[in-house]
Amino acid sequence: MTVSAAPEAPQWLRDVTMQELERNPYPVYERLRREQPLAFIPVLGAYVASTREVCTEIANHPDFGGIITKAGGRTFGHPAVIGVNGDIHEDLRSMVDPALQPTEVDRWVDGMVRPIAQRYVADLEYRGRAELMSEFCEKVSVRAVGNLLGLESVDSDKLREWFHKLSNSFTNAAVDESGDFANPEGFREGDEAKAEIRSVVDPLIDRWIVEPDDSAMSHWLHDGMPEGTTRDRDYLYPTLYVFLLGALQEPGHAIGSTLAGLFSRPEQLEAVVDEPGLLPRAIAEGMRWTSPIWSATARVSEQDTVIAGVHLPANTPVLMSYGSANHDENAYDAPSTYDITRPPLPHLAFGAGKHACAGIYFANHVCRIALEELLDTLPNIELDPDHVVDFWGWGFRGPTELHCQWEV
Ligand code: 261
């Protein structure tokens, strides 16, 4: 990529740090939405789109394609489905989309996910208290998506470790004044995870090549390929890493953020416990309120363009801060309040356009089934008053811990 001189940025944006964005990006982004909905942030070395209007325009713009963020590309390599366009993107989407089609998902999602949710709730039920991010939300998330991929043999704590390491590496985004990574050692844990993933998955691939089964990975290898041939594993790994990060982590973030939102509105939690049919609305609001993929995807202009009054030369990456777009005060009243009764204006947590999430339908069901089982078994669940709920993350965001208690 050609890198031109970094654009000018006002002093307040030059003072923005990665730690500040990770701890709480909302104040910076509130000002961006007001003053500069498409702005260059020096610590990120990139433009960010922060409003619903600008994110929607860019995501659907014919002159913009997908591009992986700089730290994302360092973590996943090429060709990752989120960072390619044209024929390769079409091939990768034709490979990942079929198992995630609604008519397909409807056939097995309940039979697959409900026993997983039931097992992890049963592990907690008589304890009276637990930290639900690590012990429930993340476990259901990795088990559901891991089993879909064909990774039943990898235990859930190992899958959790993989997504945490890939996630930290993917979002190690800070750059210095020259545009070089500010913390190059921050990629080490992602490199470790990838080495371990290959040592575990290579033998599974060896077997799927000769003995195809119904796992998504087996289909990725075989579908649409001439008889007797399979896709090359080096062609598949970057997209597998996309799944082992985002698809394993984000349903868990969405489950946790929905719970945290409901705990902030006890009367709405009670309404959902009494009427589980409200869960899809509660989950959509959870994803709007704290978007799991807060600012982890990007687009690139193929032509010189002007967006929101900013001239973007061709090949300029723009980070899509959907977590900010989902707090746009021009679209949502009191956007930082969790409220399942707000008008159900669609959110942008799954993105938009050609690179919109392939797992929208499946992910929503995973979250629904997990929360149905949790609230059905523990209807009097509440936050443990000895802990506060902290959220963390700029690229990916959710509660760090959710300490809960209930009557046994
Ligand atoms: C399955 C979606 O995963 C991702 C999405 C955006 C950035 C990185 C990801 O792994």
Atom of ligand 1 nearest to the CA of 243: 1
What's the average model confidence in pLDDT over 340-351? 97
For residues 251 and 137, give the distance between their C-alpha atoms in angstroms, rounded to a whole number: 8
Q: What percent of the chain has pLDDT over 90?
A: 98
- How many whole angstroms from 243 Cα to the centroid of ligand 1? 6
Mean pLDDT over each residue of the chain, to the nearest integer: 97
Please, what's the b/e burial string for 342-371 (b: 16 or more CB within 10 A of its CB; e: otherwise)? beeeebbbbbbbbbebbbebbbbbbbbbbb
Q: Which domains does the chain have, with CATH numbers?
A: 11-405 (1.10.630.10)
| CA pair distance 336, 329, nearest whole angstrom | 9
Pocket flag, ligand 1, residue 38 (CB < 6 Å): no
Per-residue pLDDT at 368:
99
For position 59, what pLDDT does the model report? 98
The angle that helices 279-289 and 360-377 make with each other, rounded to 10 degrees, is 110
Instruction: Take atom 7 of ligand 1 and give the residue whose Cα is closest.
Output: 296
Residue 293 Cβ inside 6 Å of ligand 1? The answer reads yes
Q: Ligand 1: does its nearest atom lie under 6 Å from the Cβ of 247? A: yes
Closest atom of ligand 1 to CA, residue 296: 7
Of residues 207, 208, 203, 197, the one with CA closest to residue 241? 197
Of 76, 84, 293, 294, the one to substitute when testing ligand 1's pocket (max ligand atoms within 8 A of C-beta) is 293
**pLDDT confidence of residue 6:** 81
Q: 357 CA to middle of ligand 1, Å?
A: 9
In the structure, what pLDDT confidence band is assigned to residue 171 with cuts at 50, 70 and 90? very high
Alpha-carbon dihedral angle through residues 296, 288, 398, 67, given to the nearest 10 degrees: -10
- With beta carbons less than 8 A apart as the criterion, state whether 214 and 108 touch: no
Q: How far is CA 281 from CA 227, 288, 340, in A?
A: 45, 11, 6
What percentage of the chain has pLDDT greater than the value 70?
99
CA atoms of 291 and 44, how far apart (whole Å): 19
Strands (E), 104-239: 129-131
Contact, 45 vs 61, CB < 8 A? Answer: no
For residue 309, pLDDT beyond 60: yes
The residue whose CA has the least distance to atom 3 of ligand 1 is 246
Q: What would the mean pLDDT of 82-110 be, rounded to a whole number?
A: 98
- H/E element, 382: strand 382-383
Which pLDDT score, from 0 to 100, does residue 323 have? 99
Which residue has tokens 């993105």?
351
349 lines ligand 1 (CB under 6 A): no
How far, in Å, from the CA of 82 to the mean position of ligand 1?
A: 7
Q: Whose CA is nearest to atom 2 of ligand 1?
A: 246
* pLDDT confidence of residue 4: 57
Q: pLDDT, tens digit, for every residue of 184-237?
A: 999 999 999 999 999 999 999 999 999 999 999 999 999 999 999 999 999 999
The per-residue pLDDT for 392 is: 98
Check residue 391 and give its pLDDT. 99
How far is residue 56 CA from its own chain's centroid?
18
For ligand 1, whether the C-beta of 82 sits within 6 Å is yes
Q: What is the pLDDT of residues 272-301, one digit of tens each?
A: 999 999 999 999 999 999 999 999 999 999
Q: 296 CB less than 6 Å from ligand 1? A: yes
Residue to mutate (ligand 1; options 250, 299, 319; most atoms within 8 A of CB): 250
Q: Enter the pTM of the model.
A: 0.98
Does the C-beta of 92 come closer than 6 Å to ligand 1?
no
pLDDT in tens, 362-384: 999 999 999 999 999 999 999 99
Atom of ligand 1 nearest to the CA of 244: 10
pLDDT for position 239: 98
Is-contact 114 369, C-beta < 8 A?
yes
Q: Is the CB of 29 under 6 A from ligand 1?
A: no
246 Cβ inside 6 Å of ligand 1: yes
Q: Distance, CA 23 to ligand 1 centroid (Å)? A: 20
List of residues 6+ apart from 358 with CB closer than 8 A: 81, 93, 96, 97, 100
Number of residues in the chain: 408
169 CA distance to ligand 1 middle (Å):
13
Measured CA distances, 398 to 186, 227, 381, 402 (Å): 20, 44, 19, 10
Cα angle: 129, vertex 166, 25; to 5 degrees: 70
Q: How far apart are CA 235 and CA 122, in angstroms?
A: 40
- Cα of 222 from ligand 1 centre, angstroms: 23
Q: Is the CB of 310 under 6 A from ligand 1?
A: no
Q: Does residue 102 have a cis bond before it (omega within 30 degrees)?
A: no
Of 243, 287, 366, 397, the one to substitute when testing ligand 1's pocket (max ligand atoms within 8 A of C-beta) is 243
| Nearest partner of 338 among 346, 325, 356, 326, judged by Cα | 326
* Binding site membership of 323 for ligand 1 (Cβ less than 6 Å): no
CA of 406 relative to ligand 1 center, distance in Å: 34
pLDDT by residue (tens digit) across 13-22? 999 999 999 9
Per-residue pLDDT at 1 exceeds 90: no
Pocket test for ligand 1, best of 67, 74, 159, 245 (most atoms within 8 A of CB): 245
